[in-house]
Amino acid sequence: MTADLFSPITMGDIKLANRMVMAPMTRNRADEHNAPHDLNTTYYQQRATAGLIITEASQVSAEGVGYPGTPGIYRDEQVAGWRKITDAVHAGGGHIFIQLWYCGRISHPDLLPDNRTPVAPSAIRPEGEATTLEGMKAFVTPRALEMDEIAGIISQYKHAAAMAKQAGFDGVEVHAANGYLIDQFLRDGSNQRTDQYGGSVENRMRMLNEVLDAVIAVWPSNRVGIRLTPENSFNSMSDSNPLEHFRYFISHLNARNLAYIHILEGDMVSKSINIDYRVLRDGYNGLYMANNGYDKARAEASLSNGDSDFVAFGIPFLANPDLVYRYQHDLPLNDANFDTLYGGAEQGYTDYPILEQTITEPG
């Protein structure tokens, strides 16, 4: 029987009630200590009918910060804030993974301890500006990581993975996408190293493999997902041959028995799709999560064609906490307020209309 959006799916040892995933979405509403608080709890609880929630990206250390108001998962007060969220989502019948994040060159000294220079695989300054507490400022040229520094970052991922377990998450997603540190190592437009972390696809994947080894030392592999963005140019990223390079990366993830791979299909900047994602999907033996601009019809077609096993929705879940119910009954959707995406309080975050008697339904 062909799967649809509302059919259950088994992911490792977890049975998800449907194939609608709430995508990770940075909303810059953590407190001054980069900890989640009660407003964030309401936001995630409202959306617990998703088969799986992937949280907004959450830095693994103070050095990993790239934006103000983003949550972390490396201090006790952050764990306490997240614990309220995971308890609320579980009480609503949902499942929730936290996305582990290190921004690398997509940061600014104003955001880092002791005004440190951001780090990257290579000292290549990205185009554009960083968001700081004082407004937008030009990105700086990052400092290329020394070989002996990389192990310290790997240990930060391991620590964050352990803290995520304390916080009650069902699993973790390693953020290896969208121009942040791991993606900076994967793609040759940002990685021009000549040591064992650069050059060949094998070397450029080394940091990702070491992060996965560290995280899987804490979590069973089937509770670990990974997000990849083969051709996304966001954050000044590029690669000389994304199809071939990411086909290699994905094929070498097969042996890990991960919960899923989460692929942003296409370029969120140009809105174009220039590679055949079915090739990548067919090269992976596990669960494949599709993402990028999906609506109900396109998601159903993807599942029906076997192009994906489940689909992640971003803005539709932001504007419609009860998206599962609305899609089930072909009901109209709320429009997103794009003026309130980042920062602020309830407006455009927890005040979207919810249709009667939906949030209490299992999901």
Give dist(CA 294, CA 302) in Å, integer: 9
The answer to whether position 271 is within a domain reads: yes
Whole-angstrom distance, CA of residue 155 vs CA of residue 137: 30
Work out the pLDDT band at 361, boundaries 50, 70, 90: very low
| pLDDT at position 363 over 70 | no
The confidence band for 250, taking pLDDT boundaries of 50, 70 and 90, is very high
Average pLDDT in the 304-321 region? 98
As given in the structure block, the two tokens for residue 126 are 């990205």
Contact 164, 72 (CB under 8 A): no
pLDDT level of residue 3 (50, 70, 90 thresholds): confident
Q: Are the C-beta atoms of residues 215 and 158 closer than 8 Å to each other?
A: yes
DSSP output for 171-231: EEEEEE-TTSHHHHHHSTTT----STTSSSHHHHTHHHHHHHHHHHTTS-GGGEEEEE-SS
Where does residue 150 rank: exposed (0-12), middle (13-18), buried (19+ CB within 10 A)? buried
Structure tokens at 194: 């000549």
Q: Is 272 exposed, middle or buried (0-12, 13-18, 19+ CB in 10 A)?
A: exposed
Segment 106-154, tens digit of pLDDT: 999 999 999 999 999 999 999 999 999 999 999 999 999 999 999 999 9
Distances in Å between the Cα of 184 and the Cα atoms of 6, 16, 231, 238 are 36, 32, 12, 9
Number of domains in the chain: 1
- Across residues 242-252, what is the average pLDDT? 98
Residue 352 lies in a domain: no
Once rounded to an integer, what is the mean pLDDT over residues 299-315? 98
Domain with 60 in it: what CATH number? 3.20.20.70
Q: Is the pLDDT of residue 163 over 50?
A: yes
Which amino acid, residue 94? G
In contact, 29 and 39? CB cutoff 8 Å = yes
- The answer as to whether 336 is a domain residue is yes
| Mean pLDDT, range 229-242, rounded to an integer | 98
Could you tell me the residue range of the domain that residue 29 belongs to? Answer: 9-340
Residue 8 has pLDDT above 50, yes or no: yes
- Categorize the per-residue pLDDT at 246 as very low, low, confident or very high, splitting at 50, 70 and 90: very high
Average pLDDT, the chain: 96
Provide φ and ψ at 179, rounded to 5°: 85, 15
In a domain, 83, yes or no: yes
pLDDT at 262 over 90: yes
Exposed (0-12), middle (13-18) or buried (19+): which is 91, by Cβ within 10 Å? Answer: exposed
Assess whether pLDDT exceeds 90 at residue 270: yes
Sign of CA dihedral 307, 310, 313, 319: positive
Q: Is the pTM of this model over 0.85?
A: yes
Residue 353 lies in a domain: no
* Residues designated as active site: 180
Domain annotation covers residue 361: no
Identify the band that residue 2 occupies on the pLDDT scale cut at 50, 70 and 90: low
Asked if residue 347 is part of any domain, the answer here is no
What is the average per-residue pLDDT within 308-325? 98
45-57 confidence digits (pLDDT tens): 999 999 999 999 9
Length of the chain: 363
Question: If DSSP codes are grouped into helix, strand and coil, which group holds residue 233?
Answer: coil
Query: What integer pLDDT is reported at residue 362 of this predicted model?
Result: 39
What element of type H or E holds 157?
Answer: helix 147-166
Strand partners, 263: 228, 290
**Residue 252 dihedral angles phi and psi, to the nearest 5°:** -85, -5
Region 223-236: mean pLDDT is 98
Taking 90 as the threshold, does the pLDDT of residue 158 lie above it? yes
State the pLDDT confidence band at 357, using cuts at 50, 70 and 90. low
**Domain-located, residue 356:** no
Give me the pLDDT at residue 123, please: 98
Predicted pLDDT at 360: 47
